[in-house]
């Protein structure tokens, strides 16, 4: 089913690149039974289903750091242990607009999923959007449509979703790919205790164009043209225009969010860690730490790349995924958990 009544939403943003239009035009709504209701859940489905293991792409999600909420115009980066805890990126399947066509060309059965509470699902009757609800909804989607073990790909904070899901539903996940993984944050931290009126004020700021423009500029390694950064910003906030987005985001924020650091060692699936060599948002030291803590993982860095390898260097990311999936032999960890570049 095509996304209904959204043309006005899509056309209010000027989309410059064909890859954006391709993915937008490919978004479908699929019925997923969740709790006592049916939810029309948005995703990009593969052109055809194959015998090989399907590739399922998650997305990052909107999150902001501790900030002076009483001065809503002021947001600062909270730096803890060299990790920036502010991310304002895409939070929808459109995050994969560059890499998705390349993955399909490489022969993968590729799905791009919008997690409950983000993206373009129809949430007129808003369900709970806490971590357990997001996990259960994704499982129901997998059980209804994908139906077999998958290679699960999670970028940035989407890596926390991937780890949480792989540990709770190991039968559904064959391998993991974690890109610029943000997995050491302690949920939403103090934001979970904010009064709801204050939380809504922060959410309104979260979808502002100036703030998103700055963070998109900061996330890239090289200085992108103004038009490119503006386009990233417009596409990245498109889902924020959904009428239920504010309520879903506040519900997630006040529920405590994802905190997966304590379960990293429980991941049994073979994992590929991809990192941008010049990531200015997540320290490379955390990439090595993650490599050490995962029982069965390899790590690869992409040169001249920041926090968004699948957006900045999609060809590199796709090649690494192809190599990881098709490799006939296991690649052992390097001694002392040192990353291989």
What is the set of active-site residues?
A: 156, 279, 307
CA distance 73 to 192: 20
Pairwise CA distance, residues 278 & 302, whole Å = 9
CA separation for the pair 255, 144 (Å, rounded): 27
Q: Report the distance separating Cα 248 and Cα 267, nearest Å.
A: 28
Which region holds residue 175: left if phi is over 0, alpha if psi is between -120 and 50, else beta? beta
165: left (phi over 0), alpha (psi -120 to 50) or beta: alpha
Locus of tokens 């509470």: 117
**Three-class secondary structure of residue 314 per DSSP:** helix
The full length of the chain comes to 341
- C-alpha triplet 136, 5, 42: angle, nearest 5°: 25
Q: Which residue has the tokens 């060809």?
A: 315
Are residues 52 and 68 in contact, defined by beta-carbon separation less than 8 angstroms?
no
């Amino acid at each position: 089913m095509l996304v209904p009544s959204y043309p006005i939403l899509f056309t209010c943003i000027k989309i410059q690149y064909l890859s954006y239009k391709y993915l937008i035009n490919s978004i479908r709504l699929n019925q997923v039974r969740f709790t006592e209701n049916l939810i029309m859940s948005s995703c990009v489905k593969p052109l055809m289903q194959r015998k090989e293991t399907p590739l399922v792409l998650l997305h990052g999600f909107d999150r902001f750091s501790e900030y002076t909420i009483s001065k809503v115009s002021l947001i600062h980066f909270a730096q803890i242990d060299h990790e920036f805890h502010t991310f304002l990126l895409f939070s929808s399947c459109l995050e994969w607009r560059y890499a998705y066509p390349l993955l399909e060309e490489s022969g993968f059965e590729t799905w791009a999923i919008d997690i409950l509470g983000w993206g373009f699902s129809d949430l007129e009757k808003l369900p709970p959007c806490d971590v357990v609800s997001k996990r259960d909804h994704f499982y129901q989607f997998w059980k209804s449509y994908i139906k077999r073990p998958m290679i699960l790909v999670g970028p940035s904070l989407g890596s926390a979703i991937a780890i949480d899901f792989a540990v709770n539903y190991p039968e559904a996940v064959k391998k993991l790919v974690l890109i610029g993984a943000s997995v050491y944050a302690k949920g939403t931290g103090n934001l979970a205790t904010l009064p709801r009126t204050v939380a809504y004020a922060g959410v309104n700021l979260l979808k502002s164009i100036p703030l998103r423009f700055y963070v998109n500029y900061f996330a890239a390694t090289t200085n992108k043209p103004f038009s490119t950064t503006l386009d990233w910003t417009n596409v990245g906030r498109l889902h924020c225009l959904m009428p239920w987005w504010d309520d879903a985001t506040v519900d997630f924020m006040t529920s405590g969010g994802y905190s997966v650091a304590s379960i990293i060692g429980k991941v049994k699936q073979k994992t590929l860690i991809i990192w941008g060599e010049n990531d200015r948002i997540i320290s490379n030291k955390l990439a090595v730490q993650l490599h050490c803590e995962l029982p069965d993982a390899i790590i690869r860095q992409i040169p001249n790349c920041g926090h968004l390898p699948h957006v900045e260097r999609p060809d590199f990311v796709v090649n690494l995924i192809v190599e990881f999936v098709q490799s006939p032999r296991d690649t052992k960890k390097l001694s002392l958990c040192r990353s291989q570049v």
